[in-house]
């Protein structure tokens, strides 16, 4: 979850067939890797990146990924670096996102974090379901 006007890092644009507008816009390695996972997932029909959360009192923020599954249900994922999970503002924003989507009937909400670095230096990601946090 990030501010609508986020300028923290370079936006990487990649053509992806399941991305609703055809181009996935990611801002870090976790988002880029997760976009690949969504693209390859047979249970995902389509996905959107950086989806604006309308009507928030705290400002204009967006969720990192909103995917439509083959059964029509929505799945929301927020990408967070492990080192930021303990920061109060990160926790607050994740709660805001979870509550926003829950009020809209979305039950499949979760967090994506990077796994601890593998021995080969390859970065990978891990999902944490919102229902089990």
Q: Annotate 71-131 with DSSP letters as a single string.
A: TS-EEEEEE--GGGTTSHHHHHHHHHHHHHHHHTT--EEEEEEEPPPPTT----EEEEEGG
Mean pLDDT by groups of 10 residues along the chain of 133 residues: 69 94 93 96 97 91 97 97 93 96 97 77 58 38
Look up the pTM and report it.
0.85
Q: What pLDDT does residue 116 have?
A: 73
Domain coordinates in residue numbering, the chain: 2-132
Q: Are 33 and 123 in contact (CB under 8 A)?
A: yes
pLDDT on residue 118: 57
Between strands 44-53 and 61-69, the pairing is antiparallel
Q: Which CATH architecture has domain 2-132?
A: 3-Layer(aba) Sandwich (3.40)
Predicted local distance difference test score (pLDDT) of residue 1? 72
pLDDT value at residue 131? 45
């Amino acid at each position: 979850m990030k501010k609508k006007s986020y300028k923290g890092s370079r936006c990487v644009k990649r053509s992806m067939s399941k991305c609703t507008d055809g181009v996935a816009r990611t801002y870090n390695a976790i988002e880029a890797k997760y976009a690949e996972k969504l693209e390859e997932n047979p249970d995902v029909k389509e996905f959107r990146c950086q989806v604006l959360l309308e009507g928030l009192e705290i400002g204009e923020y967006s969720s990192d990924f909103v995917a439509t599954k083959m059964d029509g249900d929505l799945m929301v994922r927020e990408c967070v670096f492990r080192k930021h999970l303990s920061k109060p503002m990160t926790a607050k924003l994740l709660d805001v996102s979870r509550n926003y989507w829950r009020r809209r009937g979305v039950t499949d909400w979760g967090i994506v974090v990077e796994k601890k670095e593998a021995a080969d230096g390859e970065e990978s990601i891990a999902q944490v379901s919102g229902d089990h946090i």
